[in-house]
Amino acid sequence: RGNSLPIINNVSSDIYESVNEINEVEDDQHESFELETGIDNEHLVLCNKRIDYELRPNELSHVCLYEFNSDYRKAKITVSDKALFASDSTPRSVPRRGRPPNDRWLFQTQHPQYSSHIIIRRSFRVVPVLIGPSIPRAEREDTEERYARAILTLFYPWRSVLDIYDIHELWSNVLKVRESAFTARSDKVINNIQLLHDCKRDRDQDLFQLVNQPLPSKTIKYTTQYNDANVDDAEEILALLDETTDVHLNLLNKNSIECCGARERMKREYLKSILRNIILSERFSHINNNNNPFSDLILSNCIIQTTGGTESNVLAYAANRQDIEHIRIWQYNLKIQKEQMRRMLLYGSKEQTSEGDMIIDKQFSDPSCADVFDDHTIDCTMSVINDPQLTTNVSSMNFVKTYNLNYEQAKIFESIMCHIQSTILYQINKDVKHTKPEQLLMYIGGAGGCGKSRVTEAISAFMAYHNRTHTIRCLAPSSAAAVGIDGLTIQSMLHEGRNKTYDNHTLTQTDLSTIETEWRNIDYCLIDEISMVGCYMLARLHRITTIAKHTESTIPFGGINMIFLGDFVQYPPVLDRPLYSNILSPTDTLANTMNTINLTRRRLNITERDIQCKVGRALWLQVNKVFFLTQQMRNKDPLFTAMQARLRSGQCRDDDYNMLCKRIVSSDNDVKSLGQSPWNLAPMLVFRNEVRTNINNYCVFDESIKHNQLPTVVVANDRVRNHDIDNTDLRHFLLSLPDNKTDGLPGYLPIVMNMPVLITHNIATELHISNGSIGRLVRLVYDNDNENLHNNSDIRNPNFPINTKYIQTPLYALVELPQSKLSSPLIDLQPTMIPILPEQKTIKIDLKSFITPTQKRLLNNKTSITICRTQLPIVPAYAMTTHKCQGKTLTSGIIDLVPPPYAKSDLANVYVPVSRFTSADTMAILRPFPQSILNQKPHPDMIIELERLNKLCNSNE
């Protein structure tokens, strides 16, 4: 059609008003429109099913929304239809062959497709499919209003919201008045909706009955020995049961113990060995007097003598009315500050979200000022983006001195600054002879402690000084890493829900608009901890950036300049392929890879995930500028630095092993005892979550004795199908699961005054309150009224002291987070004091280690159950896994280098914890370890990739 553009007809704004406008804000739903043809293919209009229904013919005024979509359809008007409607009189029925034409009507004149489309009665009814949140159950009180609103919207005729109810009324009251007007057909559909809920509720009824009221076992004649799903291979059975051996043995059925006893015994011996060494090192100085300190249950039946404590050392308080009021205010203030900080990170301003949003907001508040506001907005934006002085006034050398960059860091910084200045000159002088700089695809590597983060700090400071933070985005694959660079997580920019994946997630028009807004001004993107970014994740980020920048998929990241930082020797991504995976030739380009994939995906049985992994690898191969930092900035001990360098390549010598052995806790070595400073306060780094949990529990109860406090444990609230769990054994089983199996919400949470805590959920990453943040527990407030209604006898843990106080309804915990970035303190709290509220998560649990084979057979081997857990998202931080310490510098710490049984060999397991310290003197090793772990080689694909990157680094020089 040449250069002609489609014309979008103007439609009055009242047509697009949502029927649920008042409540849409509450439900966070966004109405979508579709571009459809108008009077011809050159004219496009915005339309959707709501507009079709609101502006339906007057003859169909009595039809409800559900029946309208079931019985009628929209069709393009034909010549015969026009002739039919041209007659002023009603058409006469004349004899004709075939089926008589279906009834048809014109839309109302306000409809954007009045001249091009009509409504026709269907020959056969269809069943409308409701998209979006499901209609809630009728009897639920908490969703009563949403249920009534949905039923009235679907089954009561309306043209505007005022036809259904008055804004001062409750939807539930209106439903009671108007439900008598529903047709018999509508009543049947409503009953079927409720019946569907009943079916879903009863879907797991057999399993729930078995676990709460176990059925009596019946004698079953087996022709062969029972096995799970006919699995004959013992190794496969062990692998199947591997996820269930982390729970307490008393909760396992005998059949499961026999199948996995050898592996379980090794895991228990590994745990007991660690605890034994910690006790001998005097770390638990106040519980060493137990008669049997090496028993499985050291704390079992141990009564801790307390005097009740004073006001100064009381941790848990019963809530009063003021506490409940504060919760709502704190939640609101945190939400506001989080959104403001996110706007700052996304757009460079706490108020500005985008030019479009500013215009829309202003028009709604004062339409008469729209034109003036448009001009003002453009001027402000131009003053920020197009100021020529941004590149001339201040030398980058000032930032080199301010951040004390060494020669290697300064070289990288100058290279990036040169590219940024060229980009700015091109943007503000497009009419002059300035060519657009080539896309920057840079990788900055180096060992841990070489100051990669220092370079990012200098870059961010440079952009902030020149008021250009809105043009750079800092991302990381984990919230802890994102906090370290004052950025956001990559996942938050992918616009995928918790349970959505790339394969099944379709971006809505609202998503597309948000993506374009978020990336509109972005010229540069920093990604830290690149070792934890996989091929699949990188491909998803590429997809988002190409959508935002409206570019071809063959242009890496939509033309955005990318700077990657990280060390591939450290931990790889979880459930993803590392970027160094050898799945493509190093010479493959992104365009060649995309073409090859398009040709082969039709002929070969290749999954979408495998395809995207190849795209991610191809994207990484486009990196063409590489720098390696070699000067150690964290480590001031030359011998320790040399040892770490050899450890990276698996070439440690005997003297390296001997040097580390001197750091083993022993009366003959440098570290005599863990009961002395600084080791009595130093964190312990271990490999397994169950080990970490046990150490934390011991530390908490040891501190309780030390400070004469009553042992206190916060218990999670687990429910199944909105029912309390009555079976005591099942409840103990669920509470005893390690928190890595329960989405970071522990079943038992021991607490003590001033204990270090680690946050397990992302509460506000923008404010540095995220998964991995470490703080200090100051106070716990609980609902005393509900506590009195609970029975503690069915939740007591035999591993805990018998005088332990169990709290089942916590309202919030006050945690001091020095690294938090609140713009203003919360009401009645110190600037660094953060309230942590209970989180609710839906978790799928496998019960195959809990139920008996007979029960499993009765359930047809369906052993999974979904629970809803409510708990504070924190755990003690006396000990943590080595994954949590990546990217951190520790002033002192204790590490365990003995690999757990059945653990996969991984160089990162040793290198990451060892490289967290400034010198060997700040590190203690818990127990003797095999020398072989110091000689683990990097992955062969990693070696090849590092050689390729080193060649690129040398060529850049």
Distance in angstroms (rounded) separating the CA atoms of residues 6 and 8: 7
pLDDT tens digits, 517-562: 888 889 999 999 999 999 999 999 999 999 999 888 889 999 999 9
pLDDT confidence bin for 795, thresholds 50/70/90: confident
The continuous run of DSSP H or E covering 480 comes out as: helix 479-484
Higher pLDDT, 88 or 14: 88
Q: Which of 46, 58, 61 is nearest to 15 (CA)?
A: 46
Q: Which of 761, 741, 745 is nearest to 844 (CA)?
A: 741
pLDDT tens digits, 696-706: 998 998 888 88
Higher pLDDT, 790 or 422: 422
User: 247, 268 in Cβ contact below 8 A?
Assistant: no
Provide φ and ψ at 358, rounded to 5°. -65, -40
Instruction: Decide the pairing of beta strands 104-106 and 472-476.
Output: unpaired
Higher pLDDT, 678 or 27: 678
Give the fold, CATH level 3, of 391-629: Rossmann fold (3.40.50)
pLDDT at residue 368, as a whole number: 34
Taking each continuous run of H as one helix and of E as one strand, the counts in the chain are 29, 29
Distance in angstroms (rounded) separating the CA atoms of residues 277 and 26: 54
pLDDT at residue 216, as a whole number: 41
pLDDT tens digits, 291-322: 433 334 444 444 454 445 445 567 888 888 88
Question: Is the model's pTM score more than 0.85?
Answer: no
User: 563, 452 in Cβ contact below 8 A?
Assistant: no
pLDDT tens digits, 580-626: 988 877 666 677 776 766 666 555 667 788 888 888 999 999 998 99
Instruction: Tell me the Cα Rg of the chain.
Output: 33
pLDDT tens digits, 349-371: 655 544 434 333 333 233 333 33
Residue with tokens 């657009």: 436
* CATH 3.40.50.300 domain residues, the chain: 391-629
Strand order in the sheet with 561-565: 488-489, 472-476, 524-527, 561-565, 441-446, 625-629
pLDDT at residue 161, as a whole number: 85
Q: Which of 129-133, 154-158, 501-505, 849-853 has the highest mean pLDDT?
A: 154-158
pLDDT at residue 468, as a whole number: 84
**What is the rounded average pLDDT of the residues 802-812?**
88
> Helix, strand or coil for residue 558?
helix
Distance in angstroms (rounded) separating the CA atoms of residues 453 and 528: 8
Distance in angstroms (rounded) separating the CA atoms of residues 402 and 454: 11
Q: Looking at 488-603, which runs of residues are DSSP E strands?
A: 488-489, 524-527, 561-565
User: 306, 709 in Cβ contact below 8 A?
Assistant: yes
Q: Give the lowest-confidence range in 85-94, 714-723, 846-855.
A: 85-94
pLDDT at residue 247, as a whole number: 36
Amino acid at 316: A
Distance in angstroms (rounded) separating the CA atoms of residues 190 and 150: 11
Mean pLDDT computed over every residue of the chain: 77
pLDDT tens digits, 444-476: 998 888 888 888 888 888 888 888 888 898 999
